[in-house]
Amino acid sequence: MKRSVTVFLTALAPASWGTTYAVTTTFLPPDRPLFTALVRALPAGLLLLALTRVPPRGGWWWRSAVLGALNIGAFFPLLFVSAYRLPGGMAAVVGSVQPLFVVGLSALLLRHRPAPRTLVTGVVAAFGVSLVVLRGSGTLDAVGVLAAVAATASMAAGTVLTKRWGRPEGVGPLALTGWQLTAGGLLIAPVAFLAEGAPPALDGRATAGYLYLALVNTAVAYWLWFRGIGRLTATQVAFLGPLSPLTAAVTGWAALGQALTPVQTAGMALAFAATLTGQLGAGPGSFRNAEKTRRKDSMDLTGPALRRCRCS
What confidence tens digit (pLDDT) does each residue in 153-196 have?
999 999 999 999 988 888 999 999 999 999 999 999 999 999 99
pLDDT at 307 exceeding the cut of 70: no
Poorest-confidence range of 37-46, 108-117, 220-229, 277-286? 277-286
Greater pLDDT, 297 or 3: 3
As to burial, measured by CB atoms within 10 angstroms (0-12 exposed, 13-18 middle, 19+ buried), residue 72 is buried
CB 217 within 8 A of CB 20: yes
**How many Cβ atoms are within 10 Å of 286's Cβ, its own excluded?**
15
Mean pLDDT of the chain: 81
Decide: 61 and 182 in contact? Cβ < 8 Å: no
| pLDDT at residue 222 tops 80 | yes
Q: How far apart are CA 228 and CA 13, in angstroms?
A: 10
State mean pLDDT over 148-152.
Answer: 87
Would you say residue 283 has pLDDT above 70? no
The dihedral of CA 64, 67, 68, 74: what is its sign?
positive
Asked if 226 and 159 count as a contact pair (C-beta separation under 8 A), the reply is no
Q: How many CB atoms lie within 10 A of CB 153?
A: 20
Phi-psi map region of 88: left, alpha, beta (phi>0 left; psi -120 to 50 alpha): left
Kindly state the DSSP code that residue 297 receives in the 8-state scheme. Answer: G
The answer to whether the CB of 83 falls within 8 A of the CB of 91 is yes
**pLDDT over 50 (residue 218):** yes
**Would the pLDDT of 291 be above 50?**
no
pLDDT at 52: 94
If one compares 63 and 271, the residue with the highest pLDDT of the two is: 63
Q: How confident is the model at residue 42 (pLDDT cuts 50, 70, 90)?
A: very high
Mean pLDDT (whole number) for 205-223? 94
Residue 69 has pLDDT above 50, yes or no: yes
Report which of residues 142 and 48 the model is more confident about. Answer: 48
d(CA 113, CA 234): 12
Q: Which of 75, 52, 50, 44 is nearest to 221 (CA)?
A: 44
Say how far apart CA 309 and CA 194 lie, in whole Å. Answer: 38
Evaluate whether 143 touches 85 at the Cβ level (below 8 Å). yes
Flag whether pLDDT at 96 surpasses 80. no
Which comes out higher in pLDDT, residue 241 or 85?
Answer: 241
Residue type for position 127: F
Residue count of the chain: 312
CA distance 228 to 21: 24
Number of helices followed by number of strands (H, E) in the chain: 17, 0
Between 278 and 230, the higher pLDDT residue: 230
Asked if the model's pLDDT at residue 207 lies above 90, the reply is yes
Question: pLDDT grade, residue 244 (50/70/90)?
Answer: confident
pTM score: 0.80
> Which of 298 and 197 is assigned the larger pLDDT?
197
pLDDT value, residue 235: 84
* 122 vs 61, higher pLDDT: 61
**Which candidate, 155, 16, 147, 18, places its Cα nearest to that of 99?**
155
Q: What's the rounded mean pLDDT across residues 98-122?
A: 83
**Is 36 in contact with 24 (CB distance < 8 Å)?**
yes
CA angle 12, 215, 154 (to 5 degrees): 65
